[in-house]
Chain A
Amino acid sequence: MKLMEYQGKELFRRVGITTPRGVFATTPDDVKSFIAKNPGSWVLKSQVMMGGRGKAGGIKFADDATQGETLARELIGKTLKNNQNPDGETVKSLLVEEKVAIDSEAYVSITIDRATKKPVVIVSSQGGMDVEEVAEKHPDAIVKYWVDPAIGFQPFMGRRLAFAAKLPTGYHKGFPKIVGALYTLFMEYGANLVEINPLVLTKNGEIIASDAKVDLDDSGLYKHPELAEWKNDAPADEDQVAAVAIGLGMSNYAKLDGTIGVIANGAGLGMGTMDAIRNAGGKAANFLDIGGGAQAELVKKSYNLVTSNAKVKSMFINIFGGITRGDQVALGIVEALKGDDVRKVPLVVRLTGTNEKEGREILAAAGMHPVETMDEGARIAVELAGKG
């Protein structure tokens, strides 16, 4: 679950990382009354998931309550767009924050390094810039430390990083504590990524997290039921919603841009089926992993989900039965095709493994003839899509 900036900062404060003074606002009135009570210069930051919101016009500056209200009216409901996000994202809320007097900007993040199986802390003195760009142009400006989870974060690691990254002296005293807090957040909330960019050293010598990027591992969310309400704030991923609605895991369905619908059992076989279709000269319209041990009802629902995509011209159902039984899959297919309200597309079925014989008999009785191999099925599905 990717968090909005205001949510990430809420977690930052919980672990003791300082964030700019401010307020979360969902209406222009919220903004007006806040600035009226707290006169001064304020930044209005659109709360969206997309990157590059500043360039897309999502950040404004207000010097008084009336200006704040006017700008808030302009931003809330606006759809921000840029090159990476051509479809754009609609602004639903704002974070109103004090303007901080910047002395320096640094970068710090923690993510999981799969190869070493350790969290890796990444630090750079080039804050406020895209870190991938910095890595490309000034690889020396980026330093890393791999934390042994059995030991956990220790202050010396923060000191070592600060010196190695040549952070300005003003950071030295406070930096280890901030990285320690960030590590606590990373492990406690199960984050795929926590990033502060920029981590600002103010002219007063304070160290403040000016932005917050937090992405939490969905598998660990059950440990923090109090965060459940934030789920509703995230822009819904239609594919995930559709998958969960029929009883699949949320990453078991993904719409793609081809014309051949795919249903397979297992993620690896699903990907392999997409590849086989490409090798046969076609393109998959989706990835769908029906999981292990699928019953007829789920096969039917999956069929309807795949054909709900108007681009689908043919379908390839590829089942290698282990726990999944061929007769159940066959029953589901026959059942799915029964209704009058079903969108029927040319279909090719490959059934092998557990209860393959029974499954084939069920399909044959319904006038269908399953193929023997994945390559053959893919070839026929591509041909059928071409005709459709």
Chain B
Amino acid sequence: MSIFLDKNSKIIVQGITGREGLFHTQRMLAYGTNIVGGVTPGKGGSKIESGQPVFNTVKDAVDATGATHSIIFVPPAFASDALYEAHDAGISLAVCISEGIPAHDMLKVVATTGGMRIIGPNCPGLVSPGKSLLGIMPGHVFKEGRIGMISRSGTLTYEVVNILTKAGLGQSTCVGIGGDPIIGTTFVDCLRAFANDPQTDAIVICGEIGGSDEEDAAAFIKQHLPNKPAAAFIGGRSAPPGKRLGHAGAIISGNTGTPQSKVAAFEAAGVPVADRPSDIPRLLADRIGAPA
């Protein structure tokens, strides 16, 4: 098992003939992802080099292929339209890679697309190692296993996963939830799914400064998952307040989003917080007796 994504998930790519869309489609296919087609308005009826059909609309693509999952590679100004189109066509999970979508567009999208899970925006996607990769992550660092991993970042996730993999700790599913202030799927949403996944024995949370998603995750673990081993890392603990560091969401403003508050919340929930990513396997090993 895994969460949100498995071997049989049928996937379409919105923006499949664009530079980014095509590049990552090839990478996902190489990983073994079940991409059944894509959408580029005006190019319906054609095929990409590897044979997947291109459709004019998401509805055409869903009708013809039975796709349930979509990944969106379109410029930020067109991303909310792409999400609405996916929702309208009955897509159940949409990953939005685009960076720079206005927060107010996302406020309206998340309030009106009930029934469709959105991962992102401004995220690296998700992967259920050995089964399917839906995103822009480098597949080779992941290994199939029993750790559920959730993260707000891209490359920092690869760093942490690489350390886990090298320590013999494979992953069930790894979700990059995205670095924007308004995102579709939060840490808590992922935790709720992991709670019901028999393949996931332990959870690693890779958070960062800004917002309160980590505090909410800690509260959820304390209340609902007290027996699931978990460890956390918070990126940006050395960042000064008021500086926006890359991610629109990674900023300490006033008393919210401070690393102190996040560390305290995790520790109160019995989740140890690693000072450095390389400490995570040891912290997990203390709790699950896995090889460190």
Q: Residues of A with Cβ closer than 8 Å to B?
A: 112, 114-115, 117-119, 132, 148-150, 186-187, 190, 192, 217, 219-220, 222-223, 249, 251-252, 254, 256-257, 264-272, 274-279, 283-284, 287, 289, 292, 320-323, 352-354, 373-375
Contacts and interface: CB of A to CB of B under 8 A. Distances in A.
A287 B248 contact: no
Contact of A220 (B105, B254, B278): B105
Interface stretch (B50-58, B148-156, B221-229): B148-156
Interface in B230-250: 235-240, 243-250
B125 to A, nearest CB: 11
B107 A118 contact: yes
18 contacts: A115-B212, A115-B213, A115-B216, A132-B254, A269-B153, A269-B158, A271-B208, A272-B153, A272-B236, A287-B246, A292-B136, A321-B138, A322-B155, A322-B158, A353-B138, A353-B158, A374-B159, A374-B277
A272 B124 CA distance: 17
B276 A267 contact: no
Contacts of B157: 268
Nearest to A148: B111
A150 B111 CA distance: 6
A321 B248 CA distance: 22
Interface string B88-105: 000000000000111111
Contact of B276 (A112, A265, A375): A375
A153 to B, nearest CB: 13
B79 to A, nearest CB: 10
Contacts of A222: 77
Contacts of A257: 240
Contact of A271 (B77, B111, B156, B212): B156
B76 interface: yes
Interface in B242-267: 243-250, 254
Given A217-B102, A287-B239, 19 more contacts: A114-B181, A114-B182, A115-B211, A115-B216, A119-B107, A190-B102, A219-B103, A251-B244, A254-B244, A257-B240, A266-B155, A266-B246, A268-B152, A271-B208, A274-B236, A275-B276, A277-B238, A283-B238, A322-B138
